[in-house]
Amino acid sequence: MAKNKVLVTGGCGYIGSHTIVDLIDNGFDVVSVDNLGNSYESVMDQIEAITGRKIQNYAIDLCNLEDTKQIFEDHPDIGGVIHFAALKSVGESVNQPLRYFKNNLNSLLNILECCRDYGANSFIFSSSCSVYGNAKELPVTEETLFEEAESPYARTKQIGEKITMDFAVNNPQVSSIMLRYFNPAGAHESNLIGEQPKQIALNLVPVITETASGLRDHMMVFGDDYDTRDGSCVRDYIHVMDIANAHTKAIQYLFAEKNDKNYEVFNLGIGEGVSVFEAINAFEKVTGESLNYKVAPRREGDVIAIYANNDKAKHKLGWNPNRGIEDIMKTAWDWQVKQNTLAKS
């Protein structure tokens, strides 16, 4: 049996849903699992509107091993798993560390066990630039050493990578890729899917669009006295569709057995630093809106600056991220305006 179906965990979530669209666009057969803790199953209707394909979602918790096994029993042709499902709020993880460790690590253990037992031999793990902590050198490469994790969430990603690495040593038939995302933002160009969390948005780009649309009276710029070119923090904002496409490239790479090791790591950033003030300027430029912001004290736990060296993903996966901060702001804004219109109707 050809095992070419891809199981996307967290498929109703932000990056998972965009990745499903890109996988379908590239001819993959997909099944999703998402317990809807931070998402809505209606996103599957939107994916159908974009692609013409109706994707099945299992609304189960991956921390339940028996329920997770059932997906593989039902779909013996699953050959690859892209594991997005996780809790991802940095602040919440500080207040609920055990919940974060239980959810993010038990779900990973169960899914790896299923990969081993059901012959799904390609595995992709959603990691994060937060594994680097306060990196000592910029840009960070995949070889840059991990510093102390700044939160329990970040620690789940550091430990998740180590678990997958130990699993790879013991299970050479399963090849794994860790994708370390920098700051994903923006929405699909169709404006049919975007970021739609159940939790309050705290990341910069949705805070900007919510403020400009009047959902917030004003926003805060956390710190203007850092040792950066304009005093605000620097990040590597990467369009969600570029992130999505990296997963397609990674699964194609593994299915074609182009990997020379059964455990590899790739940074996914655009490779450039953008400051908070530069992000605000880009938003104002592409939308014509003016943003009501105030400078506030530094936010606890923020790293000063981080951006990626993305050469490895470009060269080995053939990944070519081609959307910049203005594309991010334009698509995020279109999505925000649409959400507000829907909320009023």
96 touching ligand WQD, by CB under 6 A:
no
Among ligand WQD, ligand NAD, none, what binds residue 119 when CB lies within 5 to 8 Å by partner kind? Answer: none
Length of the chain: 345
Integer Cα distance of 40 and 50 in angstroms? 17
**Closer to ligand NAD by Cβ: residue 37 or 97:** 37
Integer Cα distance of 68 and 57 in angstroms? 12
Told to judge if 153 belongs to the known catalytic residues of this protein, a careful annotator would answer yes
- DSSP label of 52: S
Judged by CB under 6 A, the chain residues 51 through 90 that form the site for ligand WQD are 88, 90
Judged by CB under 6 A, the chain residues 89 through 148 that form the site for ligand NAD are 103, 107, 126, 128
299 touching ligand WQD, by CB under 6 A:
yes
Judged by CB under 6 A, the chain residues 127 through 166 that form the site for ligand WQD are 128, 130, 154
Find the residue with minimal CB distance to ligand NAD: 13
The packing angle between helices 204-212 and 325-344, to 10°, is: 50
Which residue among 38, 57, 248, 275 contacts ligand NAD (CB under 6 A)?
A: 38
Q: Point out which span in 12-20, 90-98, 209-217, 317-325 binds ligand NAD (CB under 6 A).
A: 12-20
Q: Point out which span in 43-51, 202-210, 319-327, 335-343 binds ligand WQD (CB under 6 A).
A: 202-210
- What are 222's two structure tokens? 């956390």
221 touching ligand WQD, by CB under 6 A:
yes
Cα pseudo-dihedral 68, 69, 70, 72, rounded to 10: 100
Nearest to 134, CA basis, from 118, 146, 152, 120 = 146
The packing angle between helices 97-118 and 152-170, to 10°, is: 20
The 3-state DSSP class for residue 29 equals: strand
Is the C-alpha dihedral spanning 43, 45, 46, 51 positive or negative? positive
Integer Cα distance of 170 and 166 in angstroms? 7
Residues that are catalytic: 153
User: What residues line the site for ligand WQD (CB under 6 A)?
Assistant: 88, 90, 128, 130, 154, 183, 202-204, 207, 219-222, 233, 235, 276, 299, 302
User: What residues line the site for ligand NAD (CB under 6 A)?
Assistant: 10, 12-16, 33-39, 61-63, 84-88, 103, 107, 126, 128, 181, 184, 197
